[in-house]
Amino acid sequence: MDNRVFRRFLVPMRLFALTALVMIAFAANSVLNRMAVHDAGWGPAATGFVRLASGALVLLALAIRAKGTAGLRLPPAILGAGVATLSLYIFGFSIASGLIDAGVGALTLFAMVQITMFAGALWTREAISLWRWIGAGLAFAGLAVLLLPASGGTHIDPRGFALMALAGVGWGLYSLNGRRAGAPLVATALNFALAAALALIWMLGADDWGKGASWGWAPALLSGAVTSGMGYALWYRVLPQIPASLAAIAQLSVPLIAALGGALLLAEIPSARFWLAATLVIGGIALSLRRAP
């Protein structure tokens, strides 16, 4: 095979593999946090702190290698908003992970991210196509389906759902704020480092350090250093090489991967209601990506 033909084949396959790896990392966050808080019995504040602190160490090392210590700068307004919204996400996500299944949590999170970013577009008076209106409506309908009265023994904890929805709002606002950051890797490293300091205060106030089984360290550290820290860093490497629409569509796989991981590792079998809600949410996000004719 000609070397040029081989390279044309190899580069897209490598990019696809890296993108798939990032999506698995994002979905693994739901499963790993569920393992630490629910299965190992760790406190949500302790889990959130370990995740942020270990992620910050990895991200700071990568940012310093790329930009040097002099490059670790960010406008105060952007940094403050990033730390606040990231902390909101970690707070809701960490507590909710102990209350609802991994797949349901990921679905709720991504639906609320979609709705929050849609609201942000309205706030900034961005031109919104009919497809985005329809997509946001379907995503909202998917969340409504998740909250329907339970049947067949299936129940979703309303507090867990509300907290994961709050986490989705936090992540959506964090994503909107990230558009203003010129150096996303540096911004994420600084956001993680300062949010870890806030999580330390939360943990000391909640007094939940040292609770649960000792093996809870493993999923908490993996979620921070690998699936968050290295996962985000890899995502920033992949993003410039793929269209924005493809990047958004790729993330539609995350709730489904999380549901599969929950079924395999946590024996959390998704209900028929979950699949109906997933169809509405993922279909809604996909429709919102369509360009206006």
User: Residue 253 above 80 pLDDT?
Assistant: no
Query: Do you know the residue count of the chain?
Result: 293
Residue range 242-262: average pLDDT? 68
pLDDT for 90: 92
Q: What is the pLDDT of residues 195-248, one digit of tens each?
A: 999 999 999 998 888 788 999 999 999 999 999 888 877 877 776 676 555 555
Q: In the predicted model, is pLDDT for residue 48 greater than 90?
A: yes
Alpha carbon 226 to chain centroid distance?
14
Of residues 10 and 197, the one with the higher pLDDT is 197
User: What per-residue confidence (pLDDT) applies to 13?
Assistant: 67
Highest mean pLDDT: which range of 13-22, 87-96, 259-268, 269-278: 87-96
- Rounded to an integer, the average pLDDT of 168-177 is 85
Per-residue pLDDT band for 9 (boundaries 50, 70, 90) equals very low
Mean pLDDT of 147-161: 69
Mean pLDDT in residue range 82-95: 92
Q: Cα–Cα distance between 122 and 282 in angstroms, integer?
A: 21
Q: pTM for this structure?
A: 0.79
The span from the CA of 110 to the CA of 11, in Å, is 29
94 vs 92: CA distance, rounded Å: 6
pLDDT for res 8: 53
Q: What is the predicted pLDDT for the residue at 158?
A: 87
* C-alpha dihedral, 147 to 281 to 184 to 77, nearest 10°: -50
- Asked whether 177 and 82 are in contact (CB, 8 A), the reply is yes
* Residue 60 pLDDT class (50, 70, 90 cuts): very high
Token pair listed for 68: 């040097």
The percent of residues in the chain predicted with pLDDT above 90, rounded, is 27
Determine the residue type at 183. Answer: A
- Which pLDDT score, from 0 to 100, does residue 259 have? 79
